[in-house]
Chain A
Amino acid sequence: MIEQIELNVQPRTVVGKQVKALRRAGDVPAVLYSRHGEPVILQANNRELLRVLTRAGGSRLVKLNIAGAPEAPMALVREVQREPIKGTVLHVDFFGVSMTEAIKVEVPIRYDGVSPAVTRNEGVLIHAMDSIEIECLPGDLIDTIAIDVSTLDKVGDVIRVSDLRVPATVKLLADDETTVARISYLAGEEVEAPTGTEAVVAEPEVIKKGKTEEEAEE
């Protein structure tokens, strides 16, 4: 049985630019929305929220204990907005789920093992997908999808979506032929251009306005 993740949140009254003050005080603005019902704006303690985000990711259900509310809705973390340089959390979207309705979720792919081709220095493992969209009931959600890359023996070998093993209750939404991981050729050795005698730099072509003479004749 997977441990239940809970987060204490408070209803929020502050909106717009005033949320900056909220962030300075150590809280993060959030919103809870679902297919049914109106969105609810919330705020959560930054440290507690980070702890929950690390454990839940985007593919585990979180029980939101809203202060003053009679029920604690189950939700998925849908989007985390971050400050681009420091990476601090600016805002979180929670998507409220009904346990009887199928949902679409992005589940991370975990790469296990080491490819023999990489060990032999013949190729490099390219992770074409880091996550994949699945559809299932909230109760059947899976944390990650693990793939064993040790089966990729030579350059050009690929793992496709059809090779992924998931429970029967989970439906993969990506095309079966989509590449998940592949062994690509190593980068070729660069031939150093002779210094001092730099090649003549060609000018970029300027896109002309209007029709060309040939087009005008037609």
Chain B
Amino acid sequence: MLMPKRVKWRKQQRGRMSGKELRGVEISFGDLGLQALEPCWMTQRQIEAARRTIVRFVKRKGKMWVRVFPDKPVTKKAAETRMGKGKGAVDHYVAVIKPGRIILEIGGLEEDQAREALRLAAYKLPIKTQIIGRRDLTATASTEG
């Protein structure tokens, strides 16, 4: 499961997810990508499930890039614990996703195959997404997922 190897602080505050993402919003490696349309905390399990779906679908063809990493620790208090007594223990890690962020990229496949793989992967994610192609200097918004 994806998680950081080393952290500066074991626990974090929750923070806010307002506005749109400004970085990581363009396809950088592959031909098609899955772009988030809503904000969310994407867990390590959700990212792994989407990745596995693509790996299973494309077999040994093509190449895939996961553009997000769950580096934010989420804490949870043990069941039936009274409030107080400090912050709970780290339960899992999430990636903070804001609208516009490219989550997955895929390359080296036929377009219809790549679209199908991303469509199936999108089912594993907790937010609405769209499939987009490369937007170089000239291209306009190309696709809807």
Contacts and interface: CB of A to CB of B under 8 A. Distances in A.
Interface of A: 50, 53-58, 77, 79-80, 82, 84-89, 108, 118, 121, 124-127, 130-131, 184, 186-190, 201, 203-207
Interface in B47-65: 52, 55-56, 58-64
Contacts of B37: 85
A85 B7 contact: no
Interface of B: 1, 3-10, 20-22, 25, 35, 37, 52, 55-56, 58-64, 90, 99-100, 107-108, 130, 132, 134-142
A57 B52 contact: no
A124 B138 contact: no
A57 B61 contact: no
B5 A85 contact: no
A77 to B, nearest CB: 6
Q: Which 7 A-B residue pairs are closest in the complex by CB-CB distance?
A: A87-B141, A84-B100, A124-B108, A84-B25, A58-B137, A186-B60, A57-B138
Contacts of A126: 63, 107-108
Contacts of A87: 132, 135, 139-142
Contact of B141 (A55, A88, A189): A88
Contacts of A55: 138
A184 B63 contact: yes
27 contacts: A50-B140, A53-B137, A53-B138, A54-B139, A54-B140, A58-B137, A79-B137, A84-B21, A85-B35, A85-B99, A86-B141, A87-B142, A124-B107, A124-B108, A125-B108, A126-B63, A187-B55, A187-B58, A187-B62, A187-B63, A189-B59, A190-B56, A201-B1, A204-B6, A204-B10, A205-B6, A206-B9
